[in-house]
Amino acid sequence: MSDALTPQAVWTQMLEGNRRFVSGDPAHPRQDVERRAELANSQHPTAALFGCSDSRLAAEIIFDQGLGDLFVVRNAGQVISDSVIGSLEYAVGVLGVPLIVVLAHDACGAVGAAIDSTAVDAPNLPPYIWRQIAPIVPAVRRVIREEAAAGRPTDHVDAELVGREHLRHTVADLLRASELIAEAVAEGRVAVVGANYRLADGEAVPVVSVGDVDDAHAA
């Protein structure tokens, strides 16, 4: 089982893999025939990753991980749902992962659509797309309120600020919704790190963390 690894040890491993990817020197570990055979009857992933579906956020590639390493859940804009919570509870409760990484990214199309939807003349979106991005709208409204309170213009909403706010909301919503995950965090068995992936340089930058994991690099 992966419970020999602490949340911190797993996060350090993932940051090291991301550093190799950023520098253009990936190790492509654990992707061979032997690894495939070794995993045929069981999986023991080291972390769960819940991220945006954006094609540029390919989880194993950007963290330079291998087959069987990451339990991955993704949807457009990394929006919490029953299905997402159920999958992450499975990763924690059954597979025993010590770390959940929630991965957002800059220039996210779902965040942009949520911002556009708040315009007074915004066109109606197809219903399933609207349902997917509606949970991001509170982050848009909060950024508009904070900008207004600081005396700054609110006619142009900063998508990066909204993206980070939505990421914080997502981590908080996950812990509020899932008793199983909140308990595991309280007992020190699991940590949750919210990170923002930068498309241009490939770096996953921690923004928020909960649990026993070093967030000294959090921005």
List residues near Zn ion by CB under 5 A.
Answer: 52, 54, 108
Q: How far is the CB of 52 from Zn ion (least distance, A)?
A: 3
Residue with Cβ nearer Zn ion (97 or 136): 136
Q: How far is the CB of 11 from Zn ion (least distance, A)?
A: 22
Residue with Cβ nearer Zn ion (93 or 112): 112
Instruction: Give dist(CA 96, CA 103) in Å, integer.
Output: 20
Residue with Cβ nearer Zn ion (183 or 203): 203
Q: How far is the CB of 109 from Zn ion (least distance, A)?
A: 6
Residue with Cβ nearer Zn ion (10 or 167): 167
Q: How many CB atoms are located within 10 Å of the residue 126 CB?
A: 8
User: Strand 99-105 to strand 204-210: parallel, antiparallel, or no bridges (unpaired)?
Assistant: unpaired
Q: How many CB atoms are located within 10 Å of the residue 22 CB?
A: 16
Show the tokens assigned to 41: 């009857």
Instruction: Give dist(CA 93, CA 166) in Å, integer.
Output: 26
Instruction: Give dist(CA 131, CA 75) in Å, integer.
Output: 12
Q: Is 4 exposed, middle or buried (0-12, 13-18, 19+ CB in 10 A)?
A: exposed
Q: How far is the CB of 57 from Zn ion (least distance, A)?
A: 7
